[in-house]
Amino acid sequence: MPWAFTQHQPLGTSDFIKEAGRRGVRLDLLTLRELYRRNVLEPFVYVNNRQVGPAPAPVGEEPRRGGTFLQQLRYSRDRGRLSDPAAATFRPRLRFDHPLGGAAQRWWNGLLYSWYQLLICPELDGLLGRLKGWRTSRGTVIARIPEPDPILLDRAVRLRTMAVVLTGLEARYLPVLDPEWLQLINTDQDEWQRYHDGFDPVAVSAELRCSAARARQDAEWLLSRARNLDPVGDSWGHLMRRAPSRAWKDLKDAALSALDYRIAAEILLLYYEDLAARSQVEPLPDIPRNGWHPLHERLSHREQTLDEDLTDLGISPHPRVVLAVEGETEQAHVPLIWKELDYPDAPELMRLLMLGGVDRDLEKVAALAAAPLVGQKAPSQKPAWLLIKPPTCLYIAVDPEGQYFAPDNVAQTRTAILNEIRAVLRAQGVTAANPAELDELVRIRTWSASCYEFAHFTDDELADGIMAVHTTIHGWTGDELVAALAYWRGRGQDIKRIWRSGRWDEQQQRTTGKWEYAVSKTKLADALWPVLGAKIDRCRVDADVPVPEIVQVVQDAYHLAQRWRYQSFLLSEYPDSSAAPE
């Protein structure tokens, strides 16, 4: 078969020993020879130095690229020099190591293995544990293992047969193991596409003597073995199987062997599906997840979304809290507070959203940030839905103005946001979500003063901050700036009125006018941070010192996020949909 060994090159004895070691099996040349003697692991092919059989007819188009062993294999194939060590009795003169005990240049033992013969590795532990070695009087080292039990010998024959089939099939199916990504080795897409278009699974089935039924039976056996081998368990296993093949290179020991089994099974099942598409066999059944089945272990099996798999493990990247603040000063201070409180740098806990004003419509933001994404109905007596991702709370901390001016306004705004969330849920088929659970998704807090700066800093502190970042302060004195701050604070205005309107002139009974340029809120935030940081420090040493409001918000957000961090969630339905509130 011209495309055999193009994706996984044939392995020499040293390469096979190295790959077996990655799978936790320690081999050497003498042990390989003993496994051959005991009919447990014969080399895939032996390259003779003379013709031992008829030369085959010229093969069709095949990729020219490939390593030295593949070129040696093809050269010998075309000259009738290949033989199958498993097709004859043990040949004691077949050398694995150099006859003089060294590694002379240009000497090669002529033995090649298929990558898929590594499937035998998990079966060798018990047998190799009984391996004995000694040195003869002539200085020769001998390795011996006892007679293998019949079960192992039967599995060895079965796995070798699979290795033959897989070596013949891999060029067609291994590159499309991930259906979204074509991964080719030693060829290009055009060349492989011509091979793909000419591939006839029915003819290959006859050539390899592997029926669809046998392929499925072997695949399900491999998948059952993979589940027993895999040390990471179901949850981590599902996540690992989603990773691209380049991420698998660091696996080793039993985890790598389990992956070998799943890759081999996937190739066989893709082959089965190809035959089913040509009406050679019934399609694979769609097996529901009400119990375990080997087909649930397939690499291509995606019972849940990636979000659900991550949520099951408690490592979903979706934030548990989206903290929406109004202005640039708060936006600058919140990350600094987070760090000052020694909270972890974990974006999945909280993300910050700057509104840029209290009149922004948050309903659509809420639909994106806080509306639950539901999956299947939960297998429980009470009606409920499994969530695809953890819940996210939209936590709004703003100035008390506009739609947040009074408690009634806040309640109306919150109701509008929750109604938008309900609309998103109805679109997903949830007609009556439990209102008590939805209430957890939206929190609104307004500052105790007219704006963030007035709620957290005194007039003197603000005046010092403004003078630190504004070169002229419109020609005012520090006392005049403090007085202007007190004036606008008392009238429930925003701090921006200082540089937009000036101060109140008692004689003229009017404000003194707009400053020549505005105060930078980001620079003001930097100037005010040492003051806020000092207040946090005082709270740590004196329990009677009030905690700044923004610090309370950050603490609330952190504790809520932690409570929702490592859990899976259900969204229950309201018992009586007609009584569910809107």
Q: What's residue 103's pLDDT?
A: 55
CA 232 from chain center: how many Å? 15
What is the DSSP code (8-state) at residue 279?
T
181 in helix, strand or coil?
A: coil
Q: What are phi and psi of 225, to 5 degrees?
A: -65, -40
The answer to whether residues 428 and 460 touch, using CB atoms and an 8 Å cutoff, is no
In order of 12, 51, 69, 162, the CA distances from 113 in angstroms are 6, 20, 10, 13
The residue among 326, 334, 329 whose CA lies nearest residue 351 is 334
Q: What are phi and psi of 112, to 5 degrees?
A: -130, 145
The answer to whether residues 373 and 429 touch, using CB atoms and an 8 Å cutoff, is no
Q: What's residue 316's pLDDT?
A: 85
The answer to whether residues 31 and 131 touch, using CB atoms and an 8 Å cutoff, is yes
The answer to whether residues 353 and 392 touch, using CB atoms and an 8 Å cutoff, is no
User: How many CB atoms sit inside 10 A of residue 301's CB?
Assistant: 18
Task: Give per-residue pLDDT as tens, 8-31.
Answer: 999 999 999 999 999 999 999 999
The residue among 482, 535, 473 whose CA lies nearest residue 333 is 535
What is the DSSP code (8-state) at residue 5?
T
Tokens encoding 571: 């969204």
Beginning with the edge strand found earlier in the chain, give each strand of the sheet holding 45-47 in spatial order: 82-83, 45-47, 111-112
In order of 117, 208, 216, 270, 437, the CA distances from 211 in angstroms are 20, 9, 9, 13, 54
Q: Which residue has the tokens 């031992």?
A: 52
Q: What's residue 574's pLDDT?
A: 72
Task: Give per-residue pLDDT as tens, 66-111.
Answer: 889 999 999 999 999 999 999 989 998 888 887 666 555 678 899 9
433 in helix, strand or coil?
A: strand
Domain coordinates in residue numbering, the chain: 13-297, 319-451+560-579, 452-546
Q: What's residue 568's pLDDT?
A: 66
Amino acid at 424: V
Amino acid at 302: R
Q: How many CA atoms lie within 13 A of 328 on its CB side?
A: 10
Q: What's residue 508's pLDDT?
A: 64
Write down the pTM of the prediction.
0.77
What is the DSSP code (8-state) at residue 113?
B
Distance CA 29, CA 15 (A): 11
Which residue intervals of 140-252 are DSSP H helices?
150-173, 189-198, 201-208, 212-229, 233-242
pLDDT less than 70: residues of the chain: 99-105, 134-141, 357-360, 380-381, 507-509, 567-568, 575-582
Distance CA 14, CA 29 (A): 8
What is the DSSP code (8-state) at residue 11?
B
Q: What are phi and psi of 511, to 5 degrees?
A: -80, 160
Find the distance separating the first CA and the last CA of the chain, reported in whole Å: 68
The answer to whether residues 18 and 210 touch, using CB atoms and an 8 Å cutoff, is no
